[in-house]
Amino acid sequence: MRSLEDYHPRAVGLYFLAVTGIAVFSMNPVIVAESLLGSLVLYLVRHGLRNGRTHLATLGLFLVLTLVNPVVSHNGVTPLFVVNHNPVTLEALLFGAFTAAMITATIWWFRSFSEIMTSDKLLCLFGALSPKLALVFSMALRYVPHFRRQSERVNAAQRAMGLYKEDNIVDAAKGGGRVFSILLTWALENGIITADSMAARGYGLGRRTSYTIFRFRRRDAVFLALSVTLAALTIAGSFRLVSSYYPVFRVEVPDLWASAGLAAYGILALLPAIIEIKEAIRWRWYLSKI
């Protein structure tokens, strides 16, 4: 089954750059909503309803970010209620929801990106441009799952030695600080060992050559051309989109070009999920023929 992981790293990397860059720099709520929908659908297609804690944590982050803005910002002309002589306005609440949706969508996109773009793909993507940057970037992403697994092992060892008390908040906080200190020392030691290992192998002494197993095929060219076309249509249509949050929330009805841009970005955001679903259906059809 050829999922998004089987596409060339340059095509996939450019896609993620386009879909996240447009959402981050756009102030239109429709584009941000499409980005949030596309990132969530892609994650659900790949993982289903597993990792329920991840979904709950992301939902909690969305709610916190939404409510923080009207607490610290009182701009807007539509007060909902007053707390300590400070009005909570509808415009501030909507802008908080917009910001929370944008950040949440970016988190979901980068979760899929970190799973699809492995270290060897990052070396292929950045190796020709800057081998040192590619090495640092791939090592940083590699340490994220290692850090999490090491944290679980240290935490389990601390509990096995009886250093935690479930009903003692102070003891739990001290235990968390102790685990963090251990992880920090472990990360520094591993960084020194990796640096010494690379120096012993002569890294950086001369011109570096690289080998890659990835080949740019026709399906990669089609995916890349489709991503670039949809992104260009979205950028062209975004200049005709008019929306503002302060002092009054206002979103003008899009004209033909703006509507085409919104439709193009909607397709762009759902493109990986469409590929994953199509390949899953094809795979099940092949299995039914066995």
Phi, psi (5° rounding) for residue 231? -65, -40
Q: Quote the pLDDT of residue 164.
A: 65
What is the mean predicted confidence (pLDDT) over 71-83?
Answer: 80
pLDDT tens for 235-256 read 998 888 878 888 888 888 888 8
Per the CB < 8 A criterion, the answer to whether 115 and 12 are in contact is no
Residue 29 in tokens: 């709520």
pLDDT tens for 182-212 read 888 888 888 788 778 877 877 666 666 666 6
Domain boundaries, the chain: 4-128+215-288, 130-209
Q: Is 87 helix (H, G, I), strand (E, B) or coil?
A: strand
C-alpha triplet 272, 50, 283: angle, nearest 5°: 45
